[in-house]
Homo-oligomer: A and B are copies of this chain.
Amino acid sequence: MNKKEPRISGYRFSAAAAGIKRAGTDRLDLGLIVSDSPASAAAITTTNLMFAAPVEITRERLASGACRAILINSGNANAYTGEQGRRDALDLTGELAEGLGIGADLVVPMSTGVIGLRLPVDRIREKLPQLQQGLDQGTFMDVAAAMMTTDTRPKTVLLGGVSSDGPFKMLGMAKGSGMIAPNMATMLAVILTDIRIEPNRLRECLVEANSRTFNCLTIDGDTSTNDTVIVMAGGGSEARELGGGRADRDAFSSLLNEACMSLARQIVLDGEGATKMVEVRVTGAPGPGAAAKVARTIAESPLVKTAFHGEDPNWGRILCSAGRAGVVFDPYNVDLFIGEVPIVKQGQVVSDDWESAAHRVMQGREFSIQLDLKAGDDEASFLTTDMSEEYVTINADYRS
């Protein structure tokens, strides 16, 4: 174990270069996380109809709420690979389980990368012994690096909380870049905590945290073939136990929320060609889901996103997007702010010098816009990026 790296007890890590991303290089593309004792676990996976083989296996295996190990590869998504893809993932996790001396059902696979190509099973198999041997030296930063695809940097977070049974830690790692929704870049996240919590409560907390964080990037129906968030709790034999009371539940939930939000923000900030992170906040929407619908329509509009890139306080594009979101409100009653700068108040463009002030806000690397529809109580936020020329260049590159 690298002594300098902040650590979380109860889990071990290892990574290897299996040549999945590119044969013959030493880029890490295989990662392993092992819990020293049976942990409870929960997952949220893609809603895409084209879910990958590892997603299917994750769903099946985590239904029990127990997990010991996660085998992660980048470079190949094992998606749209049919029965063969499923067999490959079952074989590899099975062999790994045997090596670790645990049940195969306690190992889940996560994959990200190219769609429609069979996993290079032999190259991965060859590396399994090295992966296991590396568990004593590996760090979670290695695993975070091994899961990267177009990411320009690993994304990790380590947080500490306090329960009635004492302090506990939470470690998160994730990969994902891409322009986020409506994009399909895969998002993988693993969150580990050293406190025990019963699987059903864990799942509840994850669903809640996910809806407030990752789902504000890649919301239902807008996910890739492989998107997966897994949380494992209580690894290690000395793990404390989360109490059943409200305060403990809140302490755990808020830490999980914080870990997810940190990873979500790191993903957005690493968006392909992104130079800005923008929070689109919609309030006063009529009825449940309406605010998210409007926020998402604004956040996904290429015209709005290019205006963000141009640092152009083009409120017309923002309101026009809102107007086509399929939500009923009175356009002549709304308030719009860019940062703290009021642009439209009760449907009237403010007469002050809003333009240069708003432009200054948009010159920042992070800012928010807020639209109050004044048509109800629903509210939602959506994180997005600007859209730059570089985004197009990255994604138009011919693969081969």
Residue positions of A touching B, CB distance < 8 A: 47-50, 79-80, 82, 114-116, 178-179, 182-185, 221-225, 300-303, 306-307, 309-312, 314-317, 319-326, 328-329, 331-332, 347-349, 355, 359, 386-389, 391-393, 395-400
Contact among B47, B179, B316 with A114 in the assembled complex (CB-CB below 8 Å) = B316
Inter-subunit contact A323/B49 (CB<8 Å): yes
With CB as the reference atom, state the residue of chain B lying closest to A301: B182
Number of copies of this chain that the complex holds: 2
Bound-state CA distance A302–B271 (Å) is: 13
A53 to chain B, nearest CB (A): 12
Contact B326 A221 (CB under 8 A): yes
Q: Which of A47, A48, A301, A324 has the most CB of B within 10 A?
A: A324
Q: Which chain B residues lie closer than 8 Å to A223 at the CB level?
A: 324
Q: In the complex, which of the residues B115, B331, B355 contacts A49, with contact meaning CB atoms closer than 8 Å? A: B331
Q: Are B392 and A315 in contact (CB under 8 A)?
A: no
Residue contact A312 to B398, C-beta cutoff 8 Å: yes
User: Contact: A182 with B387, CB < 8 Å?
Assistant: no
The residues of B that contact A311 with a CB separation of less than 8 Å are 398
Q: Is the CB of A319 within 8 A of B397?
A: no
B184 engages A115 (CB within 8 Å): no
The interface centre, meaning the residue of A329, A359, A389 with most chain B CB atoms within 10 A of its CB, is A389
By a CB distance below 8 angstroms, the chain B residues around A307 are 395-396
Nearest neighbor of A315 in chain B, beta-carbon distance: B116
Contacts of A222 in B (CB 8 A): 324
Question: In the complex where A184-B324, A222-B324 touch, is A395 in contact with B319 (Cβ < 8 A)?
Answer: no
Instruction: Specify which chain B residues have a CB less than 8 angstroms from the CB of A303 in the assembled complex.
Output: 178-179, 183-185, 395
Is the pair A331, B50 in contact by a Cβ cutoff of 8 Å?
yes
Please state if B397 and A320 are interface contacts (CB–CB under 8 Å): no
Report the bound CA distance from A164 to B133 in whole Å. 87
Indicate if the CB atoms of A302 and B395 lie closer than 8 Å: yes
